[in-house]
Chain A
Amino acid sequence: MSESVPLIVASGLVGLLLLILLLISGFGLYQYLWGPAAVRKLVRTYIFKRRIGWVSVIAIMLCTAMVLVVISVMGGWLDTFKQKFRGMSGDIVVYRPGLAGFAGYEQMLQVIRSDPGVEEALPLIRAIGLLNILNQRVEGVQVTGLDIKNFSKFNAFRESLWRQYKKPLMQNQTPPPVASFDLLPDVPYEAYRPGDRLATQRPGMIVGGPIVGFRKNEKGQVIEPAGVFSLWARLEVVPIDPDYRSFQDMQPVPNIYWIVDASLTQLYQLDESSVYVPFDVLQADMKMTARTVIEDGKEVVLPARCSEIQIKLKPGADRQTVIDRLGPTLLAIDEQFNRQTITSGLRIETWEKLREDFLNAVENEKLLVTILFGVISVVAVFLIFCILYMIVVEKTRDIGIIKSMGMTSRGVASVFIGYGLAIGMVGAFCGLVIGFVFLRYINEIHSAVAELTGRAIWDPKVYAFDRIPTDMDPATAGIVVGVAILSAVAGAVLPAIRAASLNPVEALRFE
């Protein structure tokens, strides 16, 4: 509580300041619209005939555009992460830390599927593998084994597939309702692997686009490498025993696959290192199927294992309620099947909780960058203050003239408040337009700058997405524009007070 007191006080002061500026802006607007015609005429005169004021308009415009772009790019980054994470995941994830997975998942699936809030639940296997494509490219990859027909009904994974979804849509064809690992009918697989009698029986594999050379051209169009869907790949995985303590006794298991599709999730770091294979094939290679072993001269049946269970809830079902409902039973099953393993216990978490550390870091980064750019924008307030103060000093005699003709002090103040308000409104509106246009064409602008300078600022390997994501939220844009206008008014307040306080006779004598 005591830690939050300074925060509450600071928020209160900022709120009070904004309220005062809002009242002052209201006064300026009222005087401009319904006050003496002199206020309107003089404000317009200063706007159109005092070109130095345009510097303030440009300052407000640039600051507004800058803050909007920063917030939108950071917001877009965060939202795209959330969408992608969400799109590739269920609502709830059941998993057990470690590489060996957990047993009893079939019993768990029965319990989960019988829950009234659950629509579907699917097991996944996650593993580390060594991928060798045509003996020409070898690299370490994250392997996911999944029941693709059900998984593609389950989330947005199907929509990331180039051959089965994106390309048909681009060619005005209807994509198949579910994704598959099926081999392509028009590819002569035997010809590509002469001597391999099992060539047509090899399983299909989906690879992340960058692994097989998918890229985008300057216009942002996807370029499909020629012949990519007739390549074979050897994947070696290392079966992990539930009681593993060392890799020493583990033997890698190879398998040959045909690349049947490429996944382009736009999460570059995911795509550049992920491959997807059929659940049952990977389960067998990882020795996670149910099997009988001899222990101390007795036959022991080891139950089948998976790495995680993804749960999709029915619309309207509350995640925490379902977790609370399923938790005890799932933990009991875990206790029954995995008691002897060395990894820590079963975890049941929402997808946000699972990604919490990363998403919070991005959220904090967004806040930090917004505050930093907001502070930088305070420069515009001082610029407006300096320019308006300079105008007031320069126009001291004019102020004396209009006061001698019967302009009230309030009228004089409202001329300068109105001038600041006009600067803020014009600058903020132009900033909004520039920010919007910049964000609309940010990737094209980035490409052009990269072309000119020979250096790309947005590196997808660093920032995860292959294109700069943006998200201009109308409410946020409204707040930024509002604060920009109030900042311009803040810069005008002291010059307005000085102008209004001038004694007409002293002002007329001003040299």
Chain B
Amino acid sequence: MGDSQVPVLKGVNLIVRRGEFLAIEGRSGSGKSTLLHLLAGLDTPQQGAILVQGEDLADLARRAERAVGGEQPGWLKRVIRACRLIFPFLGDAVGEKLARIRNRHFGFIFQFYHLLPELNVLENTMIASWMCTDGPGLADRKDRARSLLEQVGLSHRLNHRPSQLSGGERQRVAIARALVNDPDVLFADEPTGNLDSETGAQIMGVLESLHARGQTIVMVTHDRSIARRADRSMVMKDGRLQQV
């Protein structure tokens, strides 16, 4: 109740190897999405470590939270956070490092696609690349986004809005978006959960072809048949991870 803490994950120990396609299967509420969010640096674990190429994401996330007044009372926390956000000279180096890792090293596919409704297909695909201040120029990024959309069979839909697409097409845009910065790891949260079985199978085909080209993928799903298509499958039950 209230601020009391409920442990979601218990004793999770997981290693994901480069080029691996890992599926984590579990019922609703088992903690699999929470695990995915922690692995992707979207959430902050209270304990433990998440090592990505030697960098502890868990420690970074905890430090980032403290930097914006994590331990302070409500009003003080807000003031500190506001000052850090508004005045560049106060800086938020840790939070920015964490965001940079999310942007450069990870791609994320959501169950409900989560495309921005005001942007067209090409713009939605490019959005993660717009967050980089270095690297290739905008023209090169646009070429890459076009090429990815071509790979997922949407080169004829570049100027369409998400509302003009089917569920499968939206999820393919989301996959292209997740790949735009050539991430080390692709996280997929129930990528077929909102699709019919035929479209779901098409999406899995896209993921498998990506994996075949060496893409590391971590997917969570409640569907055993989908999980079985991965290299390795694990089951999450009551916050504990078990090998199948």
Contacts and interface: CB of A to CB of B under 8 A. Distances in A.
Do A and B interact with each other, yes or no?
Answer: yes
Interface of A: 23-24, 27, 30, 35-38, 41, 45-46, 49-50, 397-398, 400-411, 413, 417, 493, 496-497, 500-501, 503-505, 508
Most buried by B among A410, A411, A496: A410
Nearest to B141: A37
Most buried by A among B85, B95, B116: B85
Nearest to A34: B133
Contact of A405 (B82, B108, B138): B108
A410 B81 contact: no
B55 to A, nearest CB: 15
Contact of B99 (A41, A45, A407): A407
B157 interface: no
A406 B99 contact: yes
B92 A408 contact: yes
Given A36-B132, A36-B133, A501-B68, 11 more contacts: A37-B138, A38-B127, A397-B114, A401-B114, A404-B102, A405-B131, A406-B128, A409-B92, A410-B85, A410-B96, A500-B85
Nearest to B65: A503
Contacts of B102: 404-406
Contacts of A35: 133
A501 to B, nearest CB: 5
B87 A23 contact: yes
B131 A411 contact: yes
A242 B118 CA distance: 87
Nearest to B118: A49
Given A405-B108, A405-B131, A406-B100, A505 B42 contact: yes
Most buried by A among B84, B103, B128, B130: B130
A511 B54 CA distance: 36
Interface of B: 37, 40, 42-43, 68, 78, 81-82, 84-88, 92, 95-96, 99-104, 106, 108, 110, 114, 116, 118-119, 123, 127-128, 130-133, 138, 177, 181
A36 B104 CA distance: 14
B131 A27 contact: no
Contacts of B92: 408-410
A497 B75 CA distance: 13
A414 to B, nearest CB: 9
B122 to A, nearest CB: 12
B87 A501 contact: no
A-B complex: 4 closest residue pairs judged by Cβ atoms? A406-B103, A38-B130, A37-B130, A406-B102
A415 to B, nearest CB: 11
7 contacts: A36-B130, A402-B116, A408-B99, A409-B92, A409-B99, A411-B99, A413-B85
A402 B123 CA distance: 13
B85 A404 contact: no
Contact of A27 (B42, B87, B103, B138): B87
A496 B83 CA distance: 12
A17 to B, nearest CB: 13
A504 to B, nearest CB: 5
Nearest to B100: A406
Given A413-B85, A497-B82, A504-B42, A406 B95 contact: no
Contacts of B132: 36
Nearest to B129: A37
A45 B86 contact: no
B145 to A, nearest CB: 13
A397 B112 CA distance: 11
Given A35-B133, A405-B103, A505-B37, A413 B86 contact: yes
B43 A505 contact: yes
Contacts of A503: 43
A50 B85 CA distance: 24
A493 B86 contact: yes
Contacts of A410: 85, 88, 92, 96
Given A37-B138, A398-B116, A501-B78, A408 B130 contact: no
Contacts of B43: 503-505
A504 B44 CA distance: 11
Contacts of B177: 405
A402 B124 CA distance: 10
Nearest to B138: A37
Given A36-B130, A37-B130, A50 B118 contact: yes
Contact of B131 (A36, A398, A493, A496): A36
Given A406-B104, A408-B96, A501-B81, A401 B86 contact: no
Contacts of A496: 85-86
